[in-house]
Amino acid sequence: MARLTLAEVRDIAERVLLKHGFSDLQAKAVAETMVCGERDECRSHGIYRLLVCIATLSAGKVNPTAVPVVYSQAPGIVRVDADGGFSQLAFQSGLEALKQKAASNGIAALVINNCIHFSALWVEIEALTDMGLVALACNPSHAWVAPAGGRGPVFGTNPIAFGWPRKDKDPFVFDFATSAVARGEIELHRRAGKPIPLGWGVSPEGEPTTSAQHALDGAMLTFGGHKGSALAAMIELIAGPLIGDLTSAESLAHDDGAGASPYHGELIIAFDPKRFLGDQVDYHFERAERLFADIEGQGARLPSARRYEARARSLLNGVEVSDDLYADIQALI
């Protein structure tokens, strides 16, 4: 087990990306998400992702020197063409315009087009809550998930994330896939030869299954039955055709068996509390604190609690990376 400081994580990630031809700006933006992933113990977005990034690059499915271009699509819409790069730099490029449009109009949308999936949505959401904005974000992925009552993959794992800024406190943030679990979780069960719980997937014949292999061959399921399925459809629509970008089925077709990361768009909606509430903003945000107190006061946890605890640990002690993963990454430098 290797123990690394967050500065070391950042350094390794940037070196690998630069070595493989990513531009300086792209490398910095992508590496920062991995630092956040390791820091918050969301390993699937940590430096493990370097392997995925380089595989996606090798498959010719990402532009390592992409230069995002920002457009004002409408008074309430910022559009960023990610130029076939990963999503982070595109997001950062559009952030200031989104803030200004939200401040002008009260509500505004940031549309990211033509980007390669590497959305750690909670990282983007926190960039917005840091600006005092309330924010919602979502995107399609690859079509792996069946609709409620169906058996064939139509939806992606389609994450949705939300953030609410809190005075002198970590923001209220959630970020979850609308699939019952992450695809990686089913992969891990398959490798370990373990059955999966009912409700994670269906066989190619559409039958409920506890076989990880059958679920991978068939389709994953959404969380929450027909309600989760409806949300997954909404995400396909508003972060797909509404923004002129691919659905999860189209993304998988575009991949054409290369096994690269999804190619898609992303929709982010920002609400400026000052425009909704004027000089009453502090009063009403104090009322929101009572909601959080009512949740925590009965021993329930806020959705972001685990991440913030991990963050405190990592900032103090650094992070642990398995020897296998560390060796795989060293081999890329």
Residue 281: alpha-carbon gap to chain centroid: 29
The DSSP letter of residue 199 is T
76 binds a second copy (CB under 8 A): yes
Among candidate residues 123, 128, 131, 122, the one with its CA nearest the CA of residue 110: 128
294, HSE (Cβ side, Cα atoms, 13 Å): 6
| C-alpha–C-alpha distance, residues 25 and 67, integer Å | 9
Q: What is the DSSP letter of 262?
A: -
Q: Does 236 bind a second copy (CB under 8 A)?
A: yes
Q: Which of 45, 117, 142, 189 is catalytic?
A: 45
Among residues 185, 203, 211, 254, the one annotated as catalytic is 185
Stretch that binds a second copy, among 34-42, 43-51, 85-93, 239-247 (CB under 8 A): 239-247
Confirm or reject binding of residue 276 to a second copy (CB under 8 A): yes
Chain residues 143-172 in contact with a second copy, contact rule CB under 8 A: 146-152, 154, 162, 164, 172
Tokens of 39: 């820091």
Q: DSSP characters for 139-169?
A: ----S-BPPTT--S--B---EEEEEEEETTE
Interface pick for a second copy out of 75, 191, 257, 323 (rule CB under 8 A): 75
Which residue number, 26 or 178, has a Cβ lying nearer to a second copy? 178
Residue 133 touching a second copy (CB under 8 A): no
Q: Is 113 helix (H, G, I), strand (E, B) or coil?
A: strand
- Report, in Å, the least distance between residue 268 CB and a second copy: 11
Q: Does 71 interact with a second copy (rule: CB under 8 A)?
A: no
Q: Which of 23, 73, 210, 213 forms a contact with a second copy (CB under 8 A)?
A: 73
Residue that has been written with the tokens 């925590």 in this structure: 296
Residue that has been written with the tokens 């768009």 in this structure:
265
295 binds a second copy per the rule CB under 8 A: yes
- Known catalytic membership, residue 45: yes
Contact call for residue 243 and a second copy (CB under 8 A):
yes
Q: Is 106 a binder of a second copy (CB under 8 A)?
A: yes
Which one of 290, 312, 315, 330 is in contact with a second copy (CB under 8 A)?
A: 290
86, 144, 223, 263: which one binds a second copy (CB under 8 A):
223
Cβ-count burial of 290 within 10 angstroms (0-12 exposed, 13-18 middle, 19+ buried)? Answer: exposed
Q: CB neighbours (10 Å) of residue 172?
A: 22
Provide, rounded to whole angstroms, the least separation between the CB of residue 149 and a second copy.
4
One of 207, 301, 312, 333 touching a second copy (CB under 8 A)? 301
> How do 219-220 and 263-271 pair as beta strands?
unpaired
What angle, rounded to 10 degrees, do the helices at 49-58 and 323-330 form?
40
Coil vs helix vs strand at 203: coil
H/E element, 107: strand 107-116
Range in contact with a second copy (rule: CB under 8 A) among 85-93, 243-251, 255-263, 308-316? 243-251
Which residues are part of the catalytic machinery? 44-45, 185
Residue ranges in contact with a second copy by CB under 8 A: 73-77, 104-109, 111, 134, 136, 146-152, 154, 162, 164, 172, 174, 176, 178, 206, 223-230, 233-234, 236-238, 240-244, 247, 249-250, 269, 271, 273, 275-277, 280, 284-285, 287-288, 290-291, 294-295, 298-301, 303
